[in-house]
Structure 1
Amino acid sequence: MSRLNYQSARFLISAPTLAKCPADDGAEVAFAGRSNAGKSSAINTLTRQKALARTSRTPGRTQLINFFSLGDDTSRRLVDLPGYGYAKVPEAVKREWQRHLAEYLQGRHSLRGLVLVMDVRHPLTEFDQTLLGWADDQDMPVHILLTKADKLKSGAAKSALQQVRSRLREWEDLVTVQLFSSLKREGIDEASARLDGWLGDSHEP
């Protein structure tokens, strides 16, 4: 399979709800995770761009579903889902975010896979497990990026990776896991290969 050019990614549109999303055709991969897990940094690192996905000093501020096309090819898209769980917002707002996320994950036919971003030091939070449950219900493959791997020594990072894999053994047919560091730019090739596998079939029905 030929490698896709993620450096060509550019902003397409922001949508507050599933109804306002782009046409549900082609193929897209969505990035999800807690607001302080390094999701925006991971997207920027994978696309080798400094500010494609907006990083905010106030985690959780972005409440929109942001779509990025690969160059002019709008049939292949990366999707930045709203960060969740850290922002100091009312519970009603959090529930609304959760509802929109659930609608997107359950109703988006062009969604080929979910990249779930977790801080390697705090993996598998309650929200992470909720997302995994949604993905399991939809038979949706998930690739977990254990970000900020540079914050741990090599042995500790590998141990954390094995612990997460062990805890997710029941989902091993759907879920894959890797270490990732935006700071040291580690794990890019492995993550990109997973995206290639999902997005490479964008013209199939």
Structure 2
Amino acid sequence: MKVNNVELVISAVKPEQYPAEGFPEFALAGRSNVGKSSFINKMINRKSMARTSSKPGKTQTLNYYKIEEALYFVDVPGYGFAKVSKREREAWGQMIETYFTSREELCAVLLIVDLRHPPTKDDINMYDFLKYYQLPCIVIATKADKIPRGKWEKHATVIRKNLDLVKEDEIIVFSSETAEGKDKVWNALKKWM
């Protein structure tokens, strides 16, 4: 998909703030610092539309990026490292759960993991949560440029096994440096739109 028009429409924290156009939505979930912002920027051909940060836990709202007046990427707060209070983390958890379990426009969740490492306990919990609520999931294994191409399949197999990936759920090897996997991701999203 050729992307010319993108805007950050709203940073929402509750359902009444969600956009009302009814466009298909794709949520991006992943641990803090896994490269969600870099993934978004590469997918929409922007350098810094989604803010990248060396400090984990910067995203604290549901950030709605409208793409080509046709769909939304919804960046949700990362899990894992974030140096925030337990109460804040619980509030984020509630906000994310409400969105995932009640949003009709949500077509699929892009679970962003690091290709170089086996999924963390948090990644596995997130995938199990998505399966419990029967939410379609596309696993995006980022940072592919950091390991030799010949080892991608081996690493992808480790992710597949550790998450106990169901057959319908795809895994796409991705690099925000080289754009590896970008077209595959757009093709996967088209199936849900």
TM-score by length of 2: 0.91
Opposite residue 190 of structure 1, the aligned amino acid is K
Match of 1:197 in 2: 191
Tell me the CA shift for residue 165 of structure 1.
Answer: 2.2
Matched, 1:112 2:79: no
Taking only aligned residues, the RMSD between alpha carbons, in angstroms, comes to 1.8
Is 1:15 the equivalent of 2:12?
yes
Aligned to 2:123: 128
Q: Scaled by the length of structure 1, what TM-score is found?
A: 0.86
Amino acid paired to 2:112: V
What are the ranges of 5 or more consecutive residues in structure 1 without an aligned counterpart?
A: 200-205
Paired with 2:83 and 2:11, the residues of 1 have a C-alpha distance of 22
Change (3 A) 1:6 1:123: farther
Kept in 2, the 8 Å contact 1:150–1:184? The answer is yes
Q: CA deviation at 1:101?
A: 1.0
Contact 1:24 1:108 (C-alpha < 8 Å) held by counterparts = no
* SS at 1:29 equivalent: strand
Further displaced range: 55-64 or 158-167:
158-167
For residue 149 of structure 1, the aligned residue among 119, 144, 160 is 144
Q: Secondary structure at the match of 2:8?
A: strand
- How many residues in Structure 1 have an aligned counterpart in Structure 2? 193
Q: Structure 2 regions of 5+ residues with no counterpart? A: none
Match of 2:135 in 1: 140
CA displacement at 1:190 relative to structure 2:
0.5
Deviation at 1:187, TM superposition (A): 0.8
Give the one of 31, 37, 40 matched to 1:40: 37
1:187 aligned partner: 181
Deviation at 1:99, TM superposition (A): 1.4
RCO higher in 1 or 2 (8 Å CA, sep ≥ 6)? 1
Tell me, yes or no, if the aligned pair for 2:117 and 2:155 is still in contact at 8 Å: no
Q: Which residue of 2 aligns with 1:84?
A: 79
- 2 CA distance for matches of 1:60 and 1:185? 25
